[in-house]
Amino acid sequence: EDQVTQSPEALRLQEGESSSLNCSYTVSGLRGLFWYRQDPGKGPEFLFTLYSAGEEKEKERLKATLTKKESFLHITAPKPEDSATYLCAVQAMGSGGYNKLIFGAGTRLAVHP
Amino acid sequence: GAVVSQHPSRVICKSGTSVKIECRSLDFQATTMFWYRQFPKKSLMLMATSNEGSKATYEQGVEKDKFLINHASLTLSTLTVTSAHPEDSSFYICSARDDFGELQPQHFGDGTRLSIL
């Protein structure tokens, strides 16, 4: 069964304290792994797509990496505005043959000044 | 670019009422749109895949007659929660994927908070 597991469930950081979020997955034939940011009461905001092991993507203080079993979202010198829930999702084959995203439960990040 | 608009953002209504939620892709065409449900502090659960010009594909356990989906154009999908009851109260989110490529990311609306009294 296709599955996505994120850890930790919640993370509290001091401003400037770098850390990493983990997303481990089991899927039959990975077609893409996606990272999203979700603020309270809002829909997810797209951050990165990773397609193959060894691939890396960067955006400001965020860097996403991918291996055959997991992905990491590295946050360098975070600021309070980076506080959000970070969601990981993998693309798999859904009912009727259509691609669908399977989401992890997310990591709630709180960055304190 | 890649903006998805979802309306309304919040609905409060009495039990037995039917509620329609709209999802529009503003600057791209989307043959395929998706409807999700999210419970507090939980992740997104796919309810159905909406396909322009054909019937929606529902995930296992989702009642087709309860959650009616219409995808009448390349930029609009609607979800109607029929005869809503308190257990249908939730955060509903739609997404759309640009037709340009199969591995394009899904872009999400800002969700609809549905509260059934």
Strand A70-75 relative to strand A19-26, pairing: antiparallel
pLDDT in tens, A8-33: 999 999 999 999 999 999 987 788 89
Position B88 pLDDT exceeds 60? yes
Nearest to A87 among B43, B95, B109 (CB): B43
Whether pLDDT at A110 is above 80 = yes
The answer to whether the CB of A15 falls within 8 A of the CB of A103 is no
A83 versus B2: the higher-pLDDT residue is A83
Q: Scanning every residue of chain B, which has its alpha carbon at the shortest distance from the alpha carbon of A47?
A: B105
Question: Residue B35: its pLDDT value, please?
Answer: 97
Are A105 and B43 inside 8 Å of each other by CB?
yes
User: What percentage of residues in chain A have a pLDDT greater than 90?
Assistant: 77
Q: Looking at residue A97, what is its pLDDT? A: 55
Contact by Cβ (8 Å): B10, B21: no
CA pair distance B28, B3, nearest whole angstrom: 8
pLDDT at B102: 64
Determine what percent of chain A is predicted with pLDDT higher than 70.
95
Q: Looking at the complex, does the CB of residue A57 fall below 8 Å from at least one CB of chain B?
A: no
Q: How far apart are CA B10 and CA B18, in angstroms?
A: 14
pLDDT of residue A95 exceeding 70:
no
| Residues of chain B found within 8 Å of residue A46, distances taken between Cβ atoms | 2, 105-108
Distance in Å, alpha carbon of A17 to nearest chain B alpha carbon? 25
